Amino acid sequence: MRSANLRLSLPKRILDATPPRRIITGPRFTPVVQALPSIVPFVAPDEIERSRGQKFSVRLGANELTFGPSPRAVEAMQAAAATAWMYGDPKSHNLRQALADHHGVQPLNITVGEGIDGILCNLTHLLIGPGDKLVTTKGTYPTLNYFVAGKGGLLQTVPYGPDDRQDLPALLAKAWEVDAKVLYVVNPDNPSGSWHAEGKIESLIEGLPPGCLLLLDEAYHELGVDFDANAKVAVDDLRVLRLRTFSKAYGLAGARIGYALGAPEIIAAFDKIRNHFAISRVGQAGALAALLDQAYLHEVRERVRHARETLGSIAAQHGMRCLPSATNFVTMDCGKDGAFARLVLSELTERNVFVRMPGVPPLDRCIRVSCSSDEDLRIFSEALPGALKDAERKLGSK
């Protein structure tokens, strides 16, 4: 009866165009979205544990800082939890001011987002439309690729160089070739762990095509061998936007706090489209306290350095080679191909050790292991020999 009454209340022009029988239809997705597969780019360790019905002994695959955040950050978030009934400051005023002081810039040079991923999503909304080109390295951090595809943009990729680093000359040449709107470089890189020194980034900026933005993802910057790399990149340069996060060195991956450094003209554009209430009060409080505790960050850097050395020794004991790393993980060359590395990964999973591997050649010959405590790395070290042996056996039987 309600449906009939509703129909009688409709204007005649709508009644004439509407069949009397109710037709149930789904939402009208955009043509771009209709053409995309529905996939989850990263299978979380939590999901793997649920599917296996068993917890991992160690979690060394998600590039998380297993040492945890600053105790001051934890205290600040605990205190802020009581005020979680209020929305977070949409301008992240206190955090942006502290970040500006930390970097020696103005708050107008900084936007805060829900991790670097949130900023990447917003940036594609600002710059990428159907047919627009973005140049990236095939196999580097892939989340941006999904956002570009969702806007109908076109990815243009180049392979890693022979030294397992992002090939900056090849990336630049490709940007000129396709008239790219964005050139994406991760420095230090994920998943290789490699990095490019300050001078090479400056040269890359000077060589950009007109109208091409260098999107410089520096998620692992604070953990780098050269802590001040890229410090001379001018924050007001309209050709570059630099991305940082509290997820890695600051140990706040679950709080989802990232930020971008750039010219005010670029930063202001984010206010047109960003989710202004995406950053919680709890997350803002934790990030601010973490930023102000640089002594703890120094301690983290030393613990990560020690863990990288330990992982290097473990790899060498089993005839494996570690790629140079300026991150909180080490990429270990298993010495064969991707099929063998996948078997090693599977065997480690069977031994309740969670690690990951790069998904694209040539780096798919490797596994990637997060830096962690001596105890965690001992568990990994004890599981590795059996995993390698069984992977060799299964590879030989195929």
CATH of the domain at 286: 3.40.640.10
Interatomic CA distance for residues 272 and 269, integer angstroms? 6
Dmax over CA atoms of the chain, in Å, equals 81
C-alpha 280: how far from chain center: 20
Same domain assignment for residues 334 and 277: no
pLDDT tens per residue, range 86-112: 999 999 999 999 999 999 999 999 999
What total of structural domains would you count in the chain?
Answer: 2
Classify residue 225 by burial, with Cβ atoms within 10 Å: 0-12, 13-18, 19+. middle
Interatomic CA distance for residues 15 and 337, integer angstroms? 65
- What residues make up the domain containing 60? 45-65+295-397
| Residue 252 in this model has a pLDDT that exceeds 70 | yes
- In-domain check, residue 1: no
Interatomic CA distance for residues 126 and 180, integer angstroms? 14
| Residue 8 in this model has a pLDDT that exceeds 80 | no
Same domain assignment for residues 301 and 161: no
Interatomic CA distance for residues 46 and 231, integer angstroms? 37
pLDDT at 345: 97
pLDDT at 18: 59
Same domain assignment for residues 201 and 347: no
- In-domain check, residue 160: yes
Cβ neighbours of 81 (radius 10 Å): 13
- In-domain check, residue 329: yes
- In-domain check, residue 3: no
Classify residue 232 by burial, with Cβ atoms within 10 Å: 0-12, 13-18, 19+. exposed
Identify the CATH number of the domain in which residue 380 sits: 3.90.1150.10
* Of the candidates 214, 40, 257, the residue with the CA atom closest to the CA atom of residue 142: 40
pLDDT band for position 224 (50/70/90)?
Answer: confident
Strand residues in the chain grouped as ranges (E): 58-59, 110-113, 133-137, 154-158, 182-186, 213-217, 240-245, 258-261, 321-322, 329-333, 353-354, 366-370
* Domain stops at, among 267, 292, 317: 292
pLDDT at 144: 96
* Domain stops at, among 292, 326, 344: 292
Same domain assignment for residues 152 and 282: yes
In the 8-state DSSP scheme, what is residue 209?
A: P
Same domain assignment for residues 60 and 169: no
* Domain stops at, among 255, 272, 292: 292
Interatomic CA distance for residues 183 and 175, integer angstroms? 7
* Of the candidates 226, 231, 299, the residue with the CA atom closest to the CA atom of residue 65: 299
User: 208: helix, coil or strand?
Assistant: coil
pLDDT at 227: 55
Interatomic CA distance for residues 175 and 133, integer angstroms? 8
pLDDT tens per residue, range 325-366: 999 999 999 999 999 999 999 999 999 999 999 999 999 999
- In-domain check, residue 12: no
C-alpha 48: how far from chain center: 20
